[in-house]
Structure formats: C-alpha cells, structure tokens
Amino acid sequence: MRSRAVREQFDEVIRTYSSGAYRTATIALWITVVQDLLGKIRELADDGDKAALSLIADIDGHRSKAEVRKLLDVEGGILDRALSDFELIEPAEHEQLNRLRTDRNVCAHPSFQSDEEASPSITEEQVRAYMVVVVDSVLSQPPIVGKALVERYIDDTKGQSWPDADPAPYVRTRYFSRARVKTQRQILQLAVKASIAPPEGDNLVAGRNICTLRAASAFDEGALHDAVSEVLAKQRDTMDDHKLRRMIGAVGWLPRTWDVVGGDVIAKCSTLLKASDTSALVEDKAFASGPPAHPELARHYTDALKRVPLPSLVDMSGRTLFERRQFIPLLLAQIEGAQDWATGGYAMGGIAQLADQLTPEEMRAVARIFIENGEVHSSFSTPLALLTIVRRTRDVPGARDVWTDMVENYRTYFEKTGLGPYRTSLYAELEAELGVEETTPRVFGNVDQDE
C-alpha cells in the first residue's frame, strides 16, 4: 500500500474484523477501495492523464460546492471507471468488487424490513474473502493505467530519450515491473508487430521494439513466446517478401518464430536469403538480430551476410540497436585481405565502431593485421580508427599491453625493411595516448639521414 491514508483505513478494517463487527468491516473495506482507487487516479492526473484530470476536476468541484448527491454518483460509478477508463482492475475483479459494494450497501443502509424478517448478515468468511480480493486486485497494484502505459510506450519508442545503449533495465522497470499481465501482453504484442512493420517505416522504432523483445526474453520468456505466437499465427499467410525479410531480422532469433510460421514460410525465407539481392536484405534489416534460430536458415543467413558489400557492413556495424558482434569476423577478413589503402582504412573504421565488442583475441588479430598489411597501416584513415579503438578498450584487461606491443612491433617492422630510422608520423598521437617513448626521429618519406 503506497498511501498512508489507505493503510490507516485498512487497519480499521482489520480492527473491526478482529472484533467480530463484520458489517462494519465490510463498510470500512469498501471505503478503503474507493479511497485507494481515487488516490491512484489523482496520481494519474498528476502525470497528465486526460481522463484522470477530468474526473478529479469534477470531484474537486463537487466537494467545493458540497454536492453530496454528485459525489455519491462518483462513488457509485468508480468501479466502472476503474475498469473501462483507467484499466486499474480486470473484468473478473470488477465483478468481485461489485459484490463487495452491494454487500456494503446492505450493511450501511436501513433495510426497512419488519421485525419478523431476518436481518441481513455478513459472515466472517465473506469478509475475509473480500479482504483478499481487495488486497490482490486494488491495494497491491501500482497506479498505472493499462491503456495509458501502452500509449506511453509507443511514444517512448519514438522519442529522443530512449536509452539505446542499454535499454533492458529501462524497459523492465518502466513497462513490466509496474504493469498488469494484460498490459504486459499488449506491449509485447505491439512490440512484435512494430519490430516487423514499424509505424511510418521508422527503423529506429523497429530496433527499439526488438530491444524490448530481447529484454523480455530475459525475464518473461513465456509471455514473449505467447506474444510471438499470437501475432505471427495471424500474419503468417499474408506476409509478402518484404515482410518476411523484416521478420527474419526482427524475430528470427527466437526459436518460437519458426515453430509458429511452419515449414512453408521457412522454405520461403530460405529462398529469400539465398536469392534476394543483398541490398534488399540490408534495406529490410534482415541482418538486425543475428542468425535465425533455425539451422538451415542460419547457414543461408551466414552466406548472405558474406555477400554484403563493405560500405553496408560498416554502416550496420555502427547501428547500436543491431546485434553487432556478428560483423567483427567479416570486418577482420576485410582488413586482412585489403589490397588497397582505401579498403584497409575503411574496414578499420568499421572495427573502430565495434571496439566495445572486441574480445582480447580479436584485439590481437587487429594488431597483427595492422602490422602485416601495408595497405592498412599506410592508410590515412587508420590512425584515427586505431586511436578510437585504443580509447574505447582502455578499461579492458590486457588491452593496453596489446596496443603497446603493436606500436613497438610496428617500429621493428620498419627497421626490418631496411629503412633505418624512417618512421611515419601518422601514429604520433597513438604513441602519445599509450605513453610509448619515441626512440627514433620522426620524418616524412624515405629520407637518407646522411644527406
């Protein structure tokens, strides 16, 4: 119970129940329900909910004018408003609470029966059952409107404040720890739909919805599977090639996806991965989430990714909402096989975008290729890329040693070429970053020191 006033009111329910005054406890329990619901609606009004603002304005107006009849009308309709306008309670809870309200009216108002008629009574078991219903359905629930929370989620995925770097804790805290099961289900179904077909084709929104699905897989995999099943079972027969490619990138990483869509859709997706132009796969974000959770499709996916041209590969490696580690082996292969400085430097720029994803082994591979491939270390784009990599990996254990060894081995490389003291000045800032002492003069070009 969040409210002190509600807690005090419920304490009164406990006292009257404990003393055997069950009719009084029933009356007090209904007052607790109304007080708690109105308190939550006030909180919603403070958050700007339009329906809540309107109702609170009416209540405050009736109170200021002492319009008791109208306040009683508000009380009489509070369960209906809580169900339909604010989704603070479920239909079954509405029915149970309405029985409490009916019994409260019996207890609170004269019955006008004759002396020969039995007086209305409330049993201990009835009051105890009502107390359980009230705590479970009202007092223990957060002041969040289902409909408003869904709308807030939609707006959030379109806004500028969404934490793209690490959204999972944010999504769980803001939208799932405070929502009822029904609302969570609505958000997950919406996320599945928007990840495949985002509103207005906004790929940023699609990526954020994929992040929501990934977050949900960590704390409520069952609910996620139910949402995927519900949406895809309805859409599987109406998906064109464009939507199928998007489905691969949005929810292909989930095994449940392929269980739901069935063999015929799997066959179509297999054909698309093998036959689609890579530009279509890239455009439809088929590579957003990593290999599909289906062996055959995963093989075709890997083959398709190898066909992606370097500019698209570098572009995807910089998209924070993508599953980006999958691009590292491909970019390492690009820099190792680079046959011109433009390719070497451009691919190294892609590696720089993935610096926070590199393992120590991959860092050593970058260092080795940098030294061995002259097209890479002679590119004017490589110094800035390497400096970025070094700075973004400075807190990784052992990374500094890898880069320091690389610089020192780079010097040795020049000595072995017979160029003597010649060393390019391209990497002066990198050496300064690492604190590597200069041991030979730095000059441009192949200059004979005796001249």
pLDDT tens profile 17-52? 999 999 999 999 999 999 999 999 998 888 777 889
Q: What is the pLDDT of residue 145?
A: 63
pLDDT at 111 over 80: no
Q: What is the pLDDT of residue 441?
A: 39
The kind and range of the H/E element at 275 are helix 255-275
CB-based contact 383:376 (threshold 8 Å): no
In Å, what is the CA distance from 417 to each residue of 189, 420, 422? 62, 8, 10
pLDDT at 268 over 90: yes
Distance of alpha carbon 358 from alpha carbon 394, whole angstroms: 12
Mean of pLDDT values over 194-215: 94
**pLDDT tens digits along 318-346:** 998 899 999 999 999 999 999 999 999 99
Contacts of residue 122, Cβ cutoff 8 Å, sequence gap at least 6: 22, 23, 25, 26, 103, 106, 107
Contacts of residue 93, Cβ cutoff 8 Å, sequence gap at least 6: 133, 137, 138
Q: Of the ranges 96-105, 124-133, 417-426, which one carries the lowest mean pLDDT score?
A: 417-426
Identify the band that residue 286 occupies on the pLDDT scale cut at 50, 70 and 90: very high
Long-range contacts of 417-422 (CB under 8 A, 24+ apart): 419/446, 420/449, 421/449, 422/446, 422/447
**pLDDT tens digits along 144-161:** 667 778 888 999 999 999
Distance of alpha carbon 42 from alpha carbon 377, whole angstroms: 64
| Alpha carbon 25 to its chain's center | 44
Q: What is the pLDDT of residue 448?
A: 38
pLDDT at 115 over 70: no
Q: Which residue has the tokens 């029915």?
A: 95
Helix %, strand %, coil % of the chain (to 5): 70, 0, 30
Q: What is the pLDDT of residue 425?
A: 64
For helices 255-275 and 221-235, the axis angle rounded to 10 degrees is 50
Q: Is the pTM of this model over 0.75?
A: no
Q: What is the pLDDT of residue 419?
A: 53
Mean of pLDDT values over 84-110: 90
Residues of the chain above pLDDT 90, percent: 70
Average pLDDT, the chain: 89
pLDDT at 315 over 70: yes
**pLDDT tens digits along 387-444:** 999 999 999 999 999 999 998 888 777 767 655 444 456 788 888 888 876 554 333 2
Report, in angstroms and rounded to the nearest whole number, the Rg of the chain calculated over CA atoms: 33
User: Please, what is the Cα angle at 15 between 14 and 19, to 5 degrees?
Assistant: 115
pLDDT at 197 over 60: yes
pLDDT at 116 over 70: no
Mean of pLDDT values over 91-110: 91
Q: Which residue has the tokens 């929370």?
A: 149
Half-sphere exposure of 70 (CA within 13 A, CB side): 13
**pLDDT tens digits along 222-258:** 999 999 999 999 999 999 999 999 999 999 999 999 9
Joined tokens for residue 179:
């929502």
Q: What is the pLDDT of residue 418?
A: 58
Distance of alpha carbon 46 from alpha carbon 25, whole angstroms: 31
Residues of the chain above pLDDT 70, percent: 91
Distance of alpha carbon 357 from alpha carbon 393, whole angstroms: 9
CB-based contact 87:99 (threshold 8 Å): no
Distance of alpha carbon 300 from alpha carbon 248, whole angstroms: 12
Distance of alpha carbon 196 from alpha carbon 193, whole angstroms: 5
Q: What is the pLDDT of residue 421?
A: 45
Q: What is the pLDDT of residue 357?
A: 94
Identify the band that residue 113 occupies on the pLDDT scale cut at 50, 70 and 90: low
pLDDT at 203 over 90: yes
Mean of pLDDT values over 71-97: 91
Half-sphere exposure of 1 (CA within 13 A, CB side): 17
pLDDT at 269 over 70: yes
Q: Phi first, then psi: give them for residue 48, nearest 5 degrees.
A: 95, 10
CB-based contact 421:393 (threshold 8 Å): no
Q: What is the pLDDT of residue 417?
A: 65
Q: Of the ranges 155-164, 271-280, 303-312, 325-334, which one carries the lowest mean pLDDT score?
A: 155-164
Q: What is the pLDDT of residue 444?
A: 28
Mean of pLDDT values over 184-198: 95
Q: Of the ranges 99-103, 112-116, 174-178, 316-320, which one carries the lowest mean pLDDT score?
A: 112-116
Identify the band that residue 80 occupies on the pLDDT scale cut at 50, 70 and 90: very high
